[in-house]
Homo-oligomer: A and B are copies of this chain.
């Protein structure tokens, strides 16, 4: 679910202070361990004193921690706990486990389960075999250039789809023509087959296929994909063999989820 700022001029239900605080937490990407007050202000576009108060609150609550020596903030242990709580409640992971393992065994490639986070896909589970290419758990890959991302966008309702594409265009205007073309192709692939491809445009020599899955109780789609060395996963094989097996996998997961 692509999120955005407050907007909605007269949305009395929207609690600004809470949104801003969470925005501060989201500043901490994989690359940004320690962020100073000023940097947080720059990234969020909020005034310094505001950041000061929000960060103070977040620190008291354990979501941030403060280094006296650096005068900077980092994510705290409360964030970790919340993440694990959320992970533990994804029963898709349990349900999908044997089937993902099986597909990985069959293809000798790696199989991933991912959820969306803005313009990235967050890899939540990974299964692999032999020396194939591996994206570790916890990795993030771009929505724009991976099969995981394309499958996610393709599964969105039109309105949200447009919002995401607009955000990607704004984020990387230079790449937009290519990005746009690839997405149009991805939508056609999704229409025709039910899955999307990534053929070497995220990493050279890595091919992949991915398909979305809507969970019973709402929320955005999650995505399962299979990726590996290009010489092993040729486009034709992805379309004829791996892709259909991926769809079968999703079917199995769906019925496993329905069962209990």
* A interface residue numbers (CB < 8 A to B): 1, 3, 13-22, 25-26, 28-30, 33-34, 52-54, 56-58, 60-63, 65-70, 74-90, 115-117, 120, 122, 124, 138, 140, 217-220
Contacts and interface: CB of A to CB of B under 8 A. Distances in A.
Contact of A87 (B13, B60, B69, B83): B83
B82 A218 contact: no
Most buried by B among A62, A84, A87: A84
Contacts of A56: 13-15
Counting every copy of the chain, the complex holds 2
B219 A61 contact: no
A119 to B, nearest CB: 12
Interface of A: prevailing SS: mixed
B218 A81 contact: no
Nearest to A33: B89
Contact of A79 (B15, B34, B82): B82
B218 A14 contact: no
Contacts of A86: 28, 75-77, 79-80, 83
Contacts of A220: 65, 77
Contact of A116 (B1, B29, B74, B77): B77
A117 B18 contact: no
Contacts of A85: 28-30, 75, 79
A219 B65 contact: yes
Contact of A3 (B17, B60, B83): B60
Given A83-B83, A84-B122, A138-B88, A18 B57 contact: yes
A37 to B, nearest CB: 13
Nearest to A65: B219
A143 to B, nearest CB: 13
Nearest to A17: B17
10 contacts: A3-B78, A13-B56, A18-B54, A19-B61, A62-B117, A65-B218, A77-B220, A80-B115, A80-B122, A88-B138
9 pairs of A and B residues whose beta carbons are closest in the complex: A83-B83, A18-B21, A81-B117, A65-B219, A79-B86, A17-B17, A75-B86, A77-B115, A67-B217
